[in-house]
Every structure is written in structure tokens, then in C-alpha cells.
Structure 1
Amino acid sequence: MATPTPVTLGHRGPEPESDVSSREGADQTPSRYYRPELDWLRFLAFAMVFLLHAFPSDPAKYAILGIPLWFAQAIIAPIVQAGGYGVDLFFALSAFLITELLLREKEATGKVHIRAFYLRRILRIWPLYIGFIVAVLPFDVFWLGIPFSYHVALLAFTGNWHIVFTGGSPSLCGNLWSVCVEEQFYIVWPNLMARAKTKRFAAMLIGLFAFTCLYRIIYVYGTPPFPFAVWYNTFTRLDGFALGGLLACALHGRRIVLPFLARAAVFILAVGIFWGIGRVPYGGYYGESPAWTYPLVAAASVALIFAFAASPPRTTLGPLLQALSYLGKISYGLYVFHGPALRLADYLLAGASPEWSWIWRMAFAGIFTLVLSMISYAVLEKPFLRMKGRFTFVRSRPE
């Protein structure tokens, strides 16, 4: 079947269709879907989290770089404070991509292959996840005194709930809670998609978004186990998944291309939301503010995905964009390794000048994380990723 050429908003294409969108181009058939722009967005999500963990929230510390205090207070500190919401961007992006791929799988083969889905998830997530837990377990237990029960919970992909009910701990595996949330969610996700038509599934996602917002209001105004528990509770984090999946349903089978200025406006709006929430007390992470900050963050995350997904098709990538695509490929490792890298930097720089220590800490951790992630991707992850092809019905990112 012929596929019309993608058109830019506001200009009539060669086919007698709406000027808003067109059917997919040849590079995006039911059996293939890959957008390098979304890899760039993966790296942006990691960079946000790294920003929160590696950069100081105290505006005065930026004076060493010659940055005026007023600028650090008004611009830098709120952006740093909002960096943790990169996790929400990960959630929404993951839901968008997996929903799109499963919709294409259903279109190409007539059904969602649930067993194959779980095998693909295992091959993508488990090697690094389990390998990392095993590697840091002795340091966690014997050096930091982290209870072994936490690692058991992580291996059962319930580590976030262990944090909710125990108050958390300074584990080297601390970042893995978000992987637990994703894996819990994807126990249900493909089963719903397999049994529901696209429109019905989209209605379920709207209901899920509403449920999450209501549950979170009740939760934050009730008595959570500790103030930050709202951040780790699976049921308070589902709106990003819901909106990401809803965007995939809305865009499926349509190739929307926004002009550059429109995409830039959406990007600036989303960043402005993150910046504004970063100015809320405690960054909007806990207290009563999550009742409204979390859904705003979910909406901003989906807006970013839409802005990137609505880019014109690309036939070639320059060196910079290729580098960004690669960083997106290894973003899982970047996320996993950056926490221990920062802890190692703290240990090595214990006697450094306090004015410069955060800069050296950030630089060391960034380089160390990058090197570890490159090695992990090439040696540990890639061999398993190659095996995914046996269980893949829709080709996505080339490994």
C-alpha cells in the first residue's frame, strides 16, 4: 500500500488528507519504528537527574564560576531542583515507546505477543540490573550497613515499596527504585493492550490518569509513612505512564510534523513548567504540593515527547546528533552508575577545597559514569540486546 509523504503543519501535501498529519513514511512501517530524537530525549532525562544529584542547590556556590547570585537564585537553582523529574520523563517516554511498538505489533501480526514482550524486557533490563545489584551488594551490606532485605526486594522488583515502608537508606542501588516501578507497571500493560481495542485502551488510560490524581490527593493529605513516600509509591506515579501511552494512541498511524518554531515553543513551555515547579518549596516533591505538581510534570514530559516526535524525518545525522543518539542508547547505564560514581567522588575528594569540590565531583562522576556505561553497554548489555531479535515483531532502535 502506498504511503503518503509526511507533511509539515500548515502545508498541503500531495495526498488529499488533512494538513495536520499524514500516514507514516517508509521509515516507519508497522514492522519498524525508530526515532533518534527520542534517544536524545532519553539522554535529556538522565541529564536532569544527574543535574539534581551532582550540582549544588545552594545558589551561592556558583559564585566561583562568576555567576551572579541573582541569576543562580532565579534560574539555575530551580532548574537543578527540578532535575529529579527526569524520572517522570523516563516513565512517560517508556510508556509512549512501548505502547507504540505494541500497537504496531498488533497491527502487523494481529495480536500482542505477551510472552515475547516479557522476554524482551528481561533481556533489556535484567542483565545490568541484576549484575549491578550483585556487584555492589558487599559494599552496601558490609560498608554502608544496608539491610539485605532491601536487596531481596530489589531482586523481586519491589524495592520502591521497601523504601515506602522503611523510610529508605543510602544504598548504592538507590536509583533502582524507578526500574521497580516500571517493571511493576509492565506486568499489567501488555495484558490490557492485548485484550482491548485502541480506543477502549485509550479510555482506560484516561481513567488511570484520573485515578492516580485522586489517589495522590488522598495520599498526600492522609498519613503517608514518611513525607517522601509519595515519590516512591507506584500508585502515585502512574499518570506519566498514562499520558505517555495516551500520546502513543493519539499519534499511532499518523505522522505529525511541527514547524521548528512550534516545536521550540512547546519545548520552552515544558522547560518553563519544570523551572516553575523547581521554585516550589521542596521542589514540589513532597508535602501537599505533589497533588498538583506531579500531574503538571507528567503533562510537561508528554509535551516534550510530542515536540521531539513531531520533528521532520531525518535521513542522516551529523556527528553531534549521532553522539546524542549514542548517549541515549546507553542512558540506562548512565542512570544506574551515576549514583555510585558520585559517592566515589565524595570519598576521593573529601579533603578538596570546598569552593571547587563540587566542580571536581561533577566532572569526575560524569566521566566515570560515561566510561562505565560504555563498557557495560558493549560488554554486558549488547550481547543480550542482540538476542531480542528472536522475540521482536517490530524493529526499533538498531543496536
Structure 2
Amino acid sequence: MHETPIHPGKNLAEAVVAERAWVSFQDTGHFGSLDGLRCLSILAVIWQHGPGADRQGLAGSGYMGVGLFFAISGFLITTLLLRENARFGRISLASFYWRRSLRIFPLYFAVLGTYCIMVWATASGTSTARKFYANVPYFLTYTSNWFVGAQGTFAFAWSLAAEEQFYAFWPSALQFLRPARAVWLVVAMLITTVAWNSTAVWAGIRSHPAGVVLGSLPMAIGWGSLAALLLHRRAAFTLLWKFLGLRWASLVCAGSVLAAISVFPANEIAPHFLFAALVACCVIRENGILAPVLRHPCVVHLGRISYGMYLLHGLVGVLLGKAATQLPAALGPHQAGGYFLTVIVTAALATLCFRYFETPFLHMKSRFAPTRNTAAAELASFSTAK
């Protein structure tokens, strides 16, 4: 019998490459390809609210773009918190929520206010207006995913509500749990969400109040957070590097996402898991095969303003819908031409908002950057409170 030869030199070389990749990952403050993934996400969402609304299969699955947003957010926020804890010995919760508020709240509430004025000016006294104003308290408190359906004016805020609810408790969990235990917490949350959603649909009790809360955790945020927890640890990173660190791994993950959506259009479990895997591929190896596309300047720009595009595309859709009679049929709201027109106008408006409205608030975030002093101060106040 001939035994398979062992090549210790090859194994050592692979270990060295993985170690260098992990060090590079830890030193990277901005993952360029994630802006590209955000671009793909917002383009898919806008498609769904236009031509995709009338289509079936993959062409009618643009709503899955929200899942990719969730996976990116879960990974990034968890990674930032883990690194802050590792560097300063503690997470400054106050600083985190100040930074989060400056990033999310200004444009959100400005757009919500614009919707209030628009509904008053164009639909006052109608059932649409009454329903919208009845839902405003839920929009203001980021609870619309519990009380407002997926249809109607400003209903897209459900995803932002779900995201903020997760981050209401997740930083505190990371503050007091070791990363290994945090992994098991995420796994438990994912299992609970899948089990409840499956049982609730089968038993017909999905609208039960307890079930609405239990089922409100977006699985993609959980998967993205789990990816961050694993990649933060050297041993797990080295293991994942063997598969997700291959140059063509991101293309395989992207193709697998499309295949999963096409074959199982009603099942979000596999696509959301694959979204997190795709995110991991793009951050483990930033020069992967999809990098030239994801890091193209135009794609990166759309990714950077994707939050504004998400909030504003509904307003643009309404305005273009009212102007539809003055536009060629090819630019109708459910035509490909109308989709591209919506993207262009939304991107232009979001760019202006980002530059002249959001940027001043974003500059203020530097005042709340984590430092050893803020961590020590919070630790002292926490100890005194106890």
C-alpha cells in the first residue's frame, strides 16, 4: 500500500498565509467591497418596488436585497464592537448609541416629516391618510415591524425598526459575554426564529403578539453577526479562510444566492445564510474575483448613499408616478425605463442629501469615537451604580 505523502512545508505555508490574512483583516478599518454589496442591495429593493412587483421567481425577488443589507449591518456593527472591546477592554455603550443616532436618525425623521406633509397635501381626509397618521407613532418609535403591515405609506420602515431593535440589546450582550458565548447566543436566537416562524405558519398563529416579537429578528442580521464573531477569532478565521478565502469564493456564493432564491423562492433561510457567507468572502479576501465590480467608483458611491436611497426612493416613485402621464410609456413605473429613471433621480437626490444634510451629522460622530478614557469612565460609573 502507498500512503499519501505529507507535505509539512505546504501546510506551514498555508498557515502563514492564513495568519497574514487574519492580521490584515484585523487591521482593515474599511472593507471596500461592502459598499458594492450595498449598491446591489438598494438596486434590488428599488427594482422590487417597481417592475419586480409584477414578476415571479428571481425577477420578483428584489425584496431579498433587504436581507443582504441586514447581513452587512450585522457583520459591521458586531465587528466594530468586538474590536472596541478588544482594544479598550470595554464597549462604550453611550458612544455607540450617539454614533448610531447621528447616522440613522437625522435623515430618517426628516424623510418621515416629508411624508407627513406630502400625505396632508395630497391625500388629506382619505383612508390612506388616516391609516398613515395612525401609524406615525410606530414609525417614530421604530416599532412599525410589530404593528404595521408590509404595505402602505412608509411601510418600508419595518426593516429599519427590526435593525434598531436588534441593536438595542446586542451591544450590551457583547459587553458582558465572551465572544465564544456570544456565538452560542446568536445560534440560539437563529434557531428560535426559524423554529417559531416554521411552527407559527404551520399552526396559523403567526399574528400572535408574542410570535410577532419572536419572529421579528431578521435572520440575516444574526448570520452576519455570527460571521463577525467567527472571523474575529484566529482559529475560526483560519478554518474559514480555507474555503471562503479562495479567489473565486465570492462568485460561488453569489451564484449560490441566486440559485437558492430561484429554487426555493419562499424560503429565506438559505439565502440569508449565503448573504452572510458572501459578506465573509468579501472581507476575508478583498481582492477576490468580484472586487473589480464591487469596488468600481460608481458602484461604491451608490453603496455609500444607499441608506438615503432606501429612504427616498418611495418619494421619488410617487413623484414620477404622478408625472407618468407626461412621460413616454417606456418610462412608466413598472417598465425597465421607469426603473432606471427612478434609480437615477433617487441617486441624485440621495447624493445631495448625503453631502449637504447627512455629512454635518456624520462629522459629529468623531466626538464619540471610543477611547480608553470613555471606557474607563463608563466602567467606573457602572461599578458605582452597583
TM-score calculated relative to the size of structure 1? 0.78
1:294 is matched with 268
CA distance in 1, matches of 2:119, 2:151: 10
Cα pair distance change 1:115/1:300, threshold 3 Å: same
Cα 1:240–1:147 change in 2 (3 A) is same
Distance 1:349 1:12, change over 3 A: farther
Asked if the contact 2:57–2:262 (Cα under 8 Å) also holds between the matched residues in 1, the reply is yes
Match runs of 1:237-316 below 5 Å: 237-254=217-234, 256=241, 258-278=245-265, 284=266, 293-312=267-286
Question: In the alignment, which of 299, 302, 315 is matched to residue 324 of structure 1?
Answer: 299
Name the CA distance, whole Å, in 1 between partners of 2:33 and 2:147. Answer: 35
Q: Which residue identity is paired with 1:193? A: L
What is the Cα deviation at residue 225 of structure 1? 7.0
Choose the corresponding residue for 1:17, options 15, 18, 39: 15
Is the Cα–Cα contact under 8 Å of residues 45 and 89 in structure 1 kept in the other structure? Answer: yes
Provide closer, same or farther for how the CA distance between residues 127 and 322 of structure 1 changes in structure 2, counting only shifts above 3 A: same
Distance 1:319 1:248 in 2: 20
**What stretches of structure 2 of length at least 5 have no aligned partner?**
1-8, 372-386
The structure with more radius of gyration: 2
Amino acid in structure 1 at the alignment position of 2:138: A
- Name the CA distance, whole Å, in 2 between partners of 1:13 and 1:379: 53
Structure 1 residue 103: deviation in Å? 0.5
After superposition, the C-alpha distances for 1:11-45 in whole angstroms (9 at most, x for unaligned) are 9699783654545445743xx62101111111111
Paired residues, number = 346
Pick the aligned partner of 1:159 from 144, 167, 179.
Answer: 144
Structure 2 equivalent of residue 375 of structure 1 = 352
3-state SS of paired residue (1:85): helix
What's the CA shift for 1:388? 0.8
C-alpha spacing 1:191/1:224, structure 2 compared with 1 (3 Å): same
- Closer, same or farther: CA 111–181 of 1 in aligned 2, 3 Å: same
| Change over 3 Å in CA distance of 1:356–1:183 after alignment to 2 | closer
One-letter amino acid of the structure 1 residue matched with residue 262 of structure 2: W
Q: Please say if residues 231 and 237 of structure 1, whose CA atoms lie closer than 8 Å, have aligned partners that are also in contact.
A: no
Q: Check the 8 A contact 2:75/2:224 in 1, yes or no.
A: yes
Aligned twin of 2:171? 190
Cα distance in 2, alignment partners of residues 206 and 319 from structure 1: 30
Within 1, Cα distance between the matches of 2:248 and 2:310? 31
CA drift of 1:294 comes to 2.3
Q: What RMSD in Å do the two structures reach over aligned CA positions?
A: 3.1
- Native 8 Å contact 1:274 1:300 kept in 2: no
Summarize deviations over 1:208-230 as a string: whole Å, max 9, x none.
Answer: 11011111112222335779x99
- Structure 1 residues 255-314: Cα deviation after superposition (integer angstroms, max 9, x where no partner): 747232233222211221123234xxxxx2xxxxxxxx1222211211221222232459
Residue 38 of structure 2, aligned match among 32, 37, 42: 42
Counterpart secondary structure, 1:393: coil
The answer for the alignment partner of 2:84 in structure 1 is 105
**Distance apart, 1:137 and its partner CA:** 0.5
2:29 pairs with 1:33: yes
For residue 74 of structure 1, what is the aligned residue in structure 2?
none
The answer for unaligned runs of 5 or more in structure 1 is 1-10, 60-76, 279-283, 285-292, 395-399
The residue aligned with 1:218 is 199
2:123 matches 1:148? no
Q: Which of 131, 154, 161 lines up with 1:180 in the alignment?
A: 161
2:60 corresponds to which letter in structure 1?
Answer: Q
Q: Distance in 2 between matches of 1:231 and 1:372?
A: 38
The DSSP-based 3-state class of the residue aligned with 2:29 is coil
Name the amino acid aligned to 1:372.
L
Q: Secondary structure at the match of 2:15?
A: coil
Q: Does the alignment pair 1:334 with 2:309?
A: yes
More helix by share: 2
| 2:342 alignment partner AA | A
1:66-85 mapped onto 2 (5 Å cutoff): 77-85=56-64
Give the match's secondary structure for 1:260: coil
Q: 2:173–2:182: 8 Å Cα contact kept in structure 1?
A: yes
Residue 348 in 1 paired to residue 323 in 2? Answer: yes
> Taking structure 2 as the reference length, what is the TM-score of the superposition?
0.80
